[in-house]
Amino acid sequence: MSLYQKTAHELHQLLINKEVSAEEITNSVFNRINDVEEKTKAYITLTKEQALEKARNVDEKIAAGEKVPPLAGIPIAIKDNICTNGVKTTCASNILYNFVPPYNATVMERLNGENVVITGKTNMDEFAMGSSTENSGFHTTKNPWDLERVPGGSSGGSAAAVAADQCIAALGSDTGGSIRQPAAFCGVVGMKPTYGAVSRYGLVAFASSLDQIGPFTKDVTDCAMMLNAICGHDPLDSTSVKNDVSDYTKFLQNDVKGLKIGVPKEYMTEDLDPKMRKVIEDAVVKLSNLGAVVEEASLPHTEYALPAYYLLAPAEASSNLARYDGVRYGYRNVDADDILEMFMKSRSEGFGSEVKRRIMLGTYSLSAGYYDEYYNKALKVRTLIRNDFNKAFEKYDLLLSPTTPSTAFKIGENTDDPVQMYLEDIFTLSVNLAGIPGMSLPCGFVDGMPVGLQLMGKPFSEGTMLRAAYTFEQNTEYNRQRPAL
């Protein structure tokens, strides 16, 4: 097995045992990128020189006898809406094509403190608006399992990079499923932590009450290691929660005996692909056989989640994206006759069609005469959805569902049908509306494409989710299967 194929925890053992160097690991990953990047198009920007410099620095620490953190020397990719000091952060948008942040996001400061090796910035749907990475202003990322299919979105580049071994782990962001859905499509582990568990400082905002940064990894152990690195209170983020941060690796126990898991009937409808249903039902049987108590549950307001989300998220986006005006940074039209024309031309030329669609949707729902009719009602529905989860968690430790209604679809299949594209997030966006943690892990295949199992938990119950996911993973082989690129 090549170094780029290994997990972070395997590589950490090799490093501290001085069997390999961080520079060797980094070179192995960049050689892999050279071999397959033309096929996957997972990255927007590569940072090889900085990566090798950091790797050599880690090697010097190990040679000097220093004890290094678990992620030291591990090559990790970063979604291109997370600010990186001195490295372009474009949000896959032409309006930010040349933007180089003068500061780091808090998660970057924490990863740097762990002496992580950053491989580069990954492709995404523009401003995180999309479910396929086809909305990128630069290029479409392809699914490593089938290059004719999408990797999911909006964090498709991060998911594809992990699945194709073009990094060992990655960071993404999740506003309505943008970590979990691509993780499911690409057959990797992806987690959206509880809202407020990870600082959003330096994450370019899409919908501020929904956005959350989280990890993509090859297995559940690496997911726990990444959470250890990025979770924790940050005074720079007013929504960051002051909460005692656990060592999440302590929850990696091969034991679910007595764990109560509910399966919401609203997620197992007749519309679910029968082959997908069979895979999820097999996973339920597996967890039951391992000792979990699995029962049917109900989240009665689920049917209203999609329309509520697509009122609230665009409303917040229309406000957040007002700052891109061509004045301070990013793309500016130079042919305008006056400042108003410059604003209009810069925004119309800089933003892609999906971003403009959501800005208009959001602005409309916030406008006079429609605020109470649309936006305010959506807020009330959000409360009902949160209450559904609260009631369910009075009885259950976790909820379980498919991550997606189908496996990865063909590139171009849904581009002319925005509503069908929005339906790809139907099982994931309730988690964001409620602010609870959710994760996707590989649980099988349909016609050769990966299927994701979604676990949902009470606020700050990431440890319980990791325990269930780890037990499932240790008793199956799905996460060990990799695409043949």
Residue 229 forms part of a structural domain? yes
Condensed to tens digits (0 to 9), the pLDDT of residues 302-347 reads: 999 999 999 999 999 999 999 999 998 899 999 999 999 999 999 9
154 assigned to active site: yes
Question: How many Cβ atoms are within 10 Å of 405's Cβ, its own excluded?
Answer: 16
* Given 41, 54, 79, 458, the catalytic residue: 79
**Nearest partner of 382 among 195, 199, 226, judged by Cα:** 195
Give the residue-averaged pLDDT of 131-153.
97
Amino acid present at 69 = P
Condensed to tens digits (0 to 9), the pLDDT of residues 442-472 reads: 999 999 999 999 999 999 999 999 999 999 9
Q: Residue 423: which pLDDT band, with cuts at 50, 70 and 90?
A: confident
Residue 393 forms part of a structural domain? no
Residue 272 forms part of a structural domain? no
The verdict on whether omega for the bond into residue 2 sits within 30 degrees of 0, i.e. cis, is no
Residue 166 forms part of a structural domain? yes
> Which two tokens mark 468?
């269930």
User: Which pTM value belongs to this model?
Assistant: 0.97
Residue 329 forms part of a structural domain? no
CB 194 within 8 A of CB 201: no
In this prediction, residue 273 carries a pLDDT of 87
The CB-side HSE value for 324 (13 A sphere, CA atoms) comes to: 31
CB 133 within 8 A of CB 156: yes
Q: Residue 415: which pLDDT band, with cuts at 50, 70 and 90?
A: confident
Count of domains for the chain = 1
Residue 323 forms part of a structural domain? no
Residue 428 forms part of a structural domain? no
Q: Residue 176: which pLDDT band, with cuts at 50, 70 and 90?
A: very high
* Given 93, 131, 136, 154, the catalytic residue: 154
Q: Residue 195: which pLDDT band, with cuts at 50, 70 and 90?
A: very high
79 assigned to active site: yes
> Which two tokens mark 277?
């249903």
* Given 28, 93, 173, 178, the catalytic residue: 178
Condensed to tens digits (0 to 9), the pLDDT of residues 361-384 reads: 999 999 988 998 999 999 999 999
250 assigned to active site: no
Residue 353 forms part of a structural domain? no
CB 171 within 8 A of CB 215: yes
Which are the contacts of 340, defined by CB distance < 8 A and separation ≥ 6? Answer: none
> Which two tokens mark 181?
């859905």
* Count of positions (residues) in the chain: 485
Q: Residue 271: which pLDDT band, with cuts at 50, 70 and 90?
A: confident
User: What's the CATH code of the domain at 89?
Assistant: 3.90.1300.10
| Cα–Cα distance measured from residue 474 to residue 467, given in angstroms and rounded to the nearest whole number | 11
Q: 93-102, 279-288, 364-373: lowest mean pLDDT where?
A: 364-373
Give the residue-averaged pLDDT of 182-193.
98
Query: Which domain covers residue 49, as residue numbers?
Result: 3-255
